A and B are shown apart, each in its own frame.
Chain A
Amino acid sequence: MTAGAIYGLMAEFETPTELVEAAKGAYAAGYRKMDTYTPYPLEEAAEAIGAHHNRVSLVVLVGAMLGMIGGYSLEYWVSAVAYPINVGGKPFHSWPAFIPVTFECAILGACLAAVFGMLALNGLPQPYHPVFNSPNFVRASRDRFFLCIESQDPRFSPSDTRKLLESYKPEEITEVPY
């Protein structure tokens, strides 16, 4: 099989410690296009492959700002422009009374941005992904830890990469077809 025909090489580990060690080793060897697959969030694994920065917070901030501005503008427009009613002599633009709804709208915008922003940045929903072709991959959502070095990486070579992964004594190494 040529290098282009496979998605990558997948190594399966039994413990998180072994996985992180292998991921660090692969990163030190210069591999960048790789990913780990774990049954629960493993901060060390993300750090090992250099993926511990993300832009979710920025998306959430934008969501909160949009919610805040949207909520307040709506209240201002309704109360002072579209339907001005004198309530107890208060000004039409009675801003202190508008704060609770502005706050709720900011939270709403931020929460929607957090969830849908996270999904969008992750490229989900994604019905098909090559890693699911790996025969034992169902255990990635159960009790096994996987490291996949992708064939797109410039340093990838079926034999050398396999040798590197083998040096970390995984349970199994499989080729992941597209």
Chain B
Amino acid sequence: MAAPDILPPKGVRPPIIGPGQTFGTITDRIAGIVLTKHTPIFWVMIVAIAAALFGMLQTAVGYLLVKGTGIWGITIPIGWGFAIVNFVWWIGIGHAGTLISAILLLFKQTWRTSINRFAEAMTIFAVMQAGLFPLIHTGRPWLAAYWLFPIPNTMGVWPQFRSPLIWDVFAVSTYFTASFLFWGIGLIPDFATLRDSAKTLVVRRIYGMLAMGWRGSAKHWNRYETAYMLLAGLCTPLVLSVHSVVSLDFAVSVVPGWHTTFFPPYFVAGAIYSGFAMVLMLAIPFRYLYGMQDFITLRHLQNCGKLMLATGQIVAYSYGMEMFIGWYSQDKYELAMVNNRLHGPYSFYYYMLILCNILIPQSLWFNSVRSSPWKLFLVSVVVNTGMWLERFVIVVMSLQRDFIPSSWGMYWFTKWDMMIFIGTMGFFTLLFFIFIRLMPAISIFEMRTLSPQAKVKE
């Protein structure tokens, strides 16, 4: 375990890499997590718990496939329940990874280097959880292939390309593919490092195949860098488009509370907000458990905290705007929606949402909170809870009371809803810890560029 965090004197920002790191030490420390024969006991414990939750997910999904979506709490009028809430929540979490890898790369924010790899992995695993929900909420996922994708079939039916739901299929699957490619291209040089540092033949062969014969040639690096920058440039509009398209699932409808034009930026800000909260929820235990304080320094945590604060303010503005537009429209259904949020049967969730997403995160204005890993961790948990509540409020409260009082209803989740939701958290954790054990969780080759010896002296 590395030295505990020492806060530098006032006015000095902590470094982005610990002092005294050379090419060799960077390589050994990061590759050491993967190449050691010793699997840490906490890893076994976390994976065991996560695998148990994954088992629960499989059970619940198995029962769902046998019985149908009737085992969930969804009814008419609330036909979109946990499945959509969880889908939007997970896909939002998946946004920080690409933001860190792509947008921060284009802005030359070198501090992103130590967190981009596992943030990308987080994105991929979160999008996998998100993708599960639209698939199983059809009730018959084996038929969903031709419902979701344009696949020729004997009935001659095709998807409806004027519907945001089909845009969503394309946006999310493109996002998954692009994130996977971005992650994969970053891993190639690191697989070469693992191949060359491996001690046994089997390990060398496996990483050798994954490295595809990478040898660090200047001609290769040149093309590699071009491809990497272009991917970053392509992923930047992509990441902004994905949650915008998700928000259009709501905004294109005429349901009160959904039918607003500001949903796309509001959703994107919320996605980045929850994504950074999840990055911190993973980075803080990771650096502590593996003693990575020299690579993921206080500077990284502070910067993530600042980004959370900034996006949190946009989210707070959006909540205010939501209320204002409801009032400004003077549309009686929109006004009823505002009233329902403040005084309706689910108003407790709305006030909890304000507490979690607006009030508690204001503590991030204080340097003492941003510089304390455990305080940041707590704020991140609160923010992710709040972001889940936000989606619950948006999905359930609008559907619950629309235009005709005779069609109003209530929604309560069942144990199967909860088992699937908790189960996806287990699945996510399982994938993440398997990733940490088998692949370098910090980009080794990019970390080398941060070392003082990396520069060519004129």
Chain B residue contacts of A119, Cβ below 8 A: 212
Q: A44, A121, A127, A139: which contacts B223 (Cβ < 8 A)? A: A121
Rounded to whole Å, the gap between the CB of B215 and the closest CB of chain A is 6
Q: Are A79 and B162 in contact (CB under 8 A)?
A: yes
Q: Give Cα A74 to B245, complex, Å.
A: 19
CB distance from B175 to the nearest CB of A (A): 8
Instruction: Choose among B159, B215, B241 the residue that contacts A37 (Cβ–Cβ < 8 A).
Output: B215
Flag if A40 contacts B226 (CB, 8 Å).
no
Question: How many chain B residues touch the partner (CB < 8 A)?
Answer: 65
Q: Closest chain A residue to B208 by CB distance? A: A127
A121 → B minimal CB distance (Å): 5
A26 CB within 8 Å of chain B: no
* Interface magnitude class on chain A: 35 or more
Q: How far is the CA of A144 from the CA of B242 in the complex (A)?
A: 42
- Pick out which of these stretches binds chain A: B181-189, B334-342, B374-382: B181-189
Q: Kindly count the residue-residue contacts between A and B in the assembled complex, taking CB atoms under 8 Å apart.
A: 200
What A residues does B181 contact at CB under 8 A?
111-112, 114-115
Residue from A35, A108, A124 in contact with B218 in the complex, judged by beta carbons closer than 8 Å:
A35
A113 to chain B, nearest CB (A): 9
A36 and B227 contact, CB distance less than 8 A: no
* Shortest distance between the CB of B102 and any CB in chain A (Å): 11
Distance of A122 Cα from B248 Cα, bound (Å): 41
The distance in angstroms between the C-alpha atoms of A138 and B214, with both chains bound, is: 11
A85 in contact (CB, < 8 A): yes
Residue A163 interfacial (CB < 8 Å): no
**Chain A 66-80: CB-based contact to B (< 8 A → 1; otherwise 0):** 000001001100110
What residues of chain B lie closer than 8 Å to A115, measured between beta carbons? Answer: 181, 184-185, 227, 231
Does B38 sit within 8 A of A, measured CB to CB? no
Q: Is B217 an interface residue (CB 8 A)?
A: yes
Which one, A17, A45, A49, A117, contacts B227 given CB within 8 A?
A: A117
Select which of B23, B164, B178 is within 8 A of A111 by beta carbon. Answer: B178
Looking at the complex, which of A1-9, A96-104, A151-159, A167-175 is the stretch in contact with chain B?
Answer: A96-104
- A51 contacts B157, C-beta separation under 8 Å: no
Q: How far is the CB of A119 from chain B (nearest CB, A)?
A: 7
Chain A positions within 8 Å of B219 at CB level: 35, 46, 49, 51, 54, 122
Whether B231 pairs with A114 at a CB distance below 8 angstroms is yes
Quote the shortest CB–CB distance from A139 to chain B (angstroms): 8
B residues sitting closer than 8 Å to A (CB atoms) are 22-24, 27, 150, 156-162, 164, 166-167, 170-171, 174, 177-178, 181-182, 184-185, 189, 192-193, 195-197, 209, 212-227, 230-231, 234-235, 237-238, 241, 245, 248, 445-446, 448-449, 453-457
Beyond A114-B181, A121-B223, A125-B209, list 8 extra A-B contacts (CB 8 Å).
Answer: A40-B446, A41-B445, A79-B158, A79-B161, A87-B160, A104-B167, A112-B177, A122-B224
Q: Across chains A and B, which 4 residue pairs bring their CB atoms closest together, nearest first?
A: A143-B23, A125-B212, A126-B213, A118-B227
